Structure 1
Amino acid sequence: MATNKSQGEFSFFNDVCQFFDHAAQFTNHDRGLLDQIKACNSVYRFRFPIQRANGKLEVIDAWRVEHSHHKSPTKGGIRYSDMVNEDEVMALAALMTYKCAIVNVPFGGAKGGICINPRDYSVAELETITRRYTVELVKKNFIGPAIDVPAPDYGTGEREMSWIADTYLTMNPGQLDALGSVTGKPLSLSGIDGRKAATGRGVAIAVRECVEVAEDMKSLGLTPGVAGKRIIIQGLGNVGYNTAKVLQEYGAIIVGVCEYDGALYNEDGLDVDAILEHRRNNGTILGYKKAKQEFAIPAIGLEQECDILVPAALENQITEDNISRIKAKIIAEGANGPTTPKAEEIFAKRGGIIIPDMYCNAGGVTVSYFEWLKNLSHVAFGRMDKRYEETANRNIVNMVEAVTGVTLTSEQRGVIVKGATELELVNSGLEDTMIRSYHEIRRIKNANNKIDTLRTAAFVSSIDKIATSYLNMGIWP
């Protein structure tokens, strides 16, 4: 399938296919079925004009790719970046398919992209672009709660998702489940508590599960557990920030932060909130006084001493050119496609562990699934049973106190009696998903000594699940 990449350039989609082909040899599926799983089913490229605030017309390039229809609807974010291209959107859509399969979320993969730098546009212009993009998707039947459900990605957030939801509602009056056409919405528009932090929280849980396996940590010369682990975070956006905050809650030390304008390092630890405040006041992370070292070249920040590196920015950040200088023993891929196949091969040969993107950053789509279910059911999680749980727990506490003669403090009663909130239920579901999925992948890897990496095992898991879906549909002999 043709893309807008010229020959010889880096191809993100080809990297994904290379990982896929490597893993496919450890499955027993028909070659034609494997080709069907690997291919992008629908690629919609379109252009539309907008009028800028200065009165000039500008033509915007945009894409929506639906990679796999083995499950409906398809699901995937929308990226706003001037680096967006067809190859990238196809790769991200493919990763979404495999990601959903790994964490047992019943969606096919999709992805969208608009080739703009959001910083170059006013809020009003961004709204016009977003609404026009949505109109184009509606016209071609590329959006809908049972068709294709977008979500935030790099350069987008709750604001853009609310514009999409409103535009879809306007064009589909009376559709009962219309708010299920997009996830990552604000709470006021039937979003779900915990969605914004979900990807970063999921990355932190993935790291925790990895480092708690004593056998694997022994081979790396590390002690089990997150506490005391030195972490470098690349990217202080939504994913990187929330990953850092949760890992700090687990006892990790954030020793390095890398951003597009530079990098900071302090082996004693950095305060990510203070760094963000410094950036808000100064327009850059550079000059932060509590950093012992700073680097004007961001890539140098990746190469400093640490136990775990979390690339949470963009693809193609760790390559064969810099992997030999990466000192981390574990790479947790918060971003999509940050490590090239050759770099991973080199890293694996020296004994390092990569927690692959298609599992590691699946927290976002997992909680988007919960939001979609909330929108279809038209009731918030916990609303039906929170008070019932509190009453039942209170009765149990009262009975125990009466029988034992022990009176609990108000704080102790509060911990026991409390019913679960939506956020607590969401985080519980996310944690269970990430824990189960990690150990499923690890079991697949350990069951076959020819499977060299967790990524290969993750691909094997997803390929088997998708193939089973096609076979059960009866459309494959």
Structure 2
Amino acid sequence: MSKKGGFYESVEYYFDRAAPHTGLPHGLLDQIKVCNSVYRMNFPVKLRDEVKVIEAYRVQHSHHRTPTKGGIRFSNHVNQEEVMALASLMSYKCAIVDVPFGGAKGGVKINPWEYTPEELEKITRRYTAELIKRNMIGPSVDVPAPDYGTGSREMAWIYDTYRAFKGDEIDAAGCVTGKPVTQNGVRGREEATGRGVFYGIREACNVPEDMKKIGLSAGTKGKTFVLQGLGNVGTFTGKICQEEGGMILVGVGEVEGAIYNPDGIDINDLLEYRKANGSMLNYPDVQSFGKDQREIALEFECDVLVPAALESVITINNASRIKAKIIAEAANGPVAADAEEVLLAAGKLIIPDFYLNAGGVTVSYFEWLKNLSHMRFGRMDKRFNQGRMMDMVNLIERMTNRDVTNEEMKIIARGADEIDLVRSGLEETMITAYHQIREVMVMNPKINDLRTAAMVGAINKISNDYMSLGIWP
């Protein structure tokens, strides 16, 4: 098995741990495991009065399905092994949730907060041009998306640059996802990863026998949770867990420190306070911990810990101090492999990252489909379905001699719009995938954790593609 020190080594270790449970030949396993294409580039960009050479990457892990799919992150911590690890996880993630993409990932080694929007646009467009020259982007080739340090703005720049080079390509909008809705994006993409995290937590909590093993009751209502990270994923996870799941936020960790209140923190109020004050420290009625103690948020007393920032925040050094009974990996690789052994030995339930944060790629898939079909979801049938429901309500009114109020009519006879269909599709995907993972674990008594079960399921699905498509003899 691989060493378990770094992020990429951890991903390989998880693969090696799951591989014997698949019964597949070593050659096929080696093909599934390896990154097929690793492209490192250095390109010059004139910024202010100097030319700066930018280091960047694009890795395509697996071509068992095409196009390949994966986000682009802007971070000064980007390196080749990190991008390879993230690309590998994307392959397994897509397989788990039955999204027909191979895995890929991109990274640009910059701190985006050190640059102006104009400078970021120059860097993004030049990076895109490099990908176009190497045929590493396109709706049928490789489809990027947002990741840490990027968002819909950067995706719009990528789309515009691609269209400038490929102006006659009718499906050009499908070259990238996570675009603004006004630029052929899809409603619900911004919240997608966080909403998917909630659906995954909810599904795990809805299995009474699993909750009983860790001393919790079934359901999400009343369960306490801690967020480590208030970026896009952490923010939407927190809001939806609180508002739709009835969960109680008791702690938050961010770059400026950590806060804790066992009686609960209203996340919407906290976000407003942080925006107004530039920090969440000194928020009313909480214990505050400074920047040098920010990692203590991981050790707060709670039912569910949601690491939603960067990889390897739970290590062998702090794993024994984790008090949460459920670790919900909203970020990629937040638990190092050697730390996971400590957590599992302590009876913790770990919901693995490459399942739990698959909401982003799932809704990206919906956006890609929308771009290829050139039509908004709900456009064809929303009014028809609404009319049929109104006819049914009118019939019931006549048969029962009871009038339905206008408010009741709006609820009952409402046709599904794009956001409704996206959320419904995401919910179905996360529910189905969770029970497929759990079924692998139940059917194989030698597997006692969700990550190994998820990896076994992903490997088997990828191998089926290799064999059914004739890629593997």
TM over 0.5: yes
SS in 1 for 2:135: coil
- Amino acid in structure 2 at the alignment position of 1:78: I
Identity %: 57
CA contact (8 A) 2:205 2:211 kept: yes
Q: Which residue of 2 aligns with 1:208?
A: 202
5+ unaligned residues in a row in structure 1: which ranges?
Answer: 1-7
| Residues 33-432 of structure 1 aligned to structure 2 (within 5 Å) | 33-53=28-48, 55-249=49-243, 250-296=245-291, 297-432=293-428
SS in 2 for 1:175: coil
5+ unaligned residues in a row in structure 2: which ranges?
Answer: none
Q: Which residue of 2 aligns with 1:4?
A: none
Q: CA deviation at 1:355?
A: 0.2
CA contact (8 A) 2:162 2:175 kept: yes
Q: CA deviation at 1:9?
A: 10
**What CA distance in whole angstroms lies between the structure 2 residues aligned with 1:292 and 1:84?**
34
Question: For residues 127-154 of structure 1, what are the alpha-carbon distances to aligned partners after superposition, in whole Å with 9 as ceiling and x for unaligned?
Answer: 0000000000000000000000000000
Q: CA deviation at 1:28?
A: 1.1
- Amino acid in structure 2 at the alignment position of 1:452: N
- Amino acid in structure 2 at the alignment position of 1:372: W
Q: Which residue of 1 aligns with 2:451?
A: 455
**What CA distance in whole angstroms lies between the structure 2 residues aligned with 1:316 and 1:426?**
31
CA contact (8 A) 1:148 1:181 kept: yes
CA contact (8 A) 1:100 1:107 kept: yes
Q: CA deviation at 1:364?
A: 0.2
**What CA distance in whole angstroms lies between the structure 1 residues aligned with 2:297 and 2:468?**
48
CA contact (8 A) 2:159 2:176 kept: yes
Question: For residues 3-32 of structure 1, what are the alpha-carbon distances to aligned partners after superposition, in whole Å with 9 as ceiling and x for unaligned?
Answer: xxxxx9942111101000000010111100
In the alignment, is residue 467 of structure 1 matched against residue 460 of structure 2? no
CA contact (8 A) 1:320 1:342 kept: yes
SS in 2 for 1:28: coil
Q: Which residue of 2 aligns with 1:5?
A: none
**What CA distance in whole angstroms lies between the structure 2 residues aligned with 1:275 and 1:409?**
37
CA contact (8 A) 1:266 1:293 kept: no
**What CA distance in whole angstroms lies between the structure 1 residues aligned with 2:141 and 2:301?**
46
**What CA distance in whole angstroms lies between the structure 2 residues aligned with 1:52 and 1:285?**
33
Q: CA deviation at 1:289?
A: 2.2
- Amino acid in structure 2 at the alignment position of 1:397: V
CA contact (8 A) 1:310 1:333 kept: yes
SS in 1 for 2:56: strand
In the alignment, is residue 31 of structure 1 matched against residue 26 of structure 2? yes
TM-score, normalising length from structure 2? 0.98
**What CA distance in whole angstroms lies between the structure 1 residues aligned with 2:68 and 2:118?**
29
**What CA distance in whole angstroms lies between the structure 2 residues aligned with 1:432 and 1:352?**
26
Task: State the superposition RMSD in angstroms.
Answer: 1.1
How many residues are matched? 469
CA contact (8 A) 2:5 2:336 kept: no
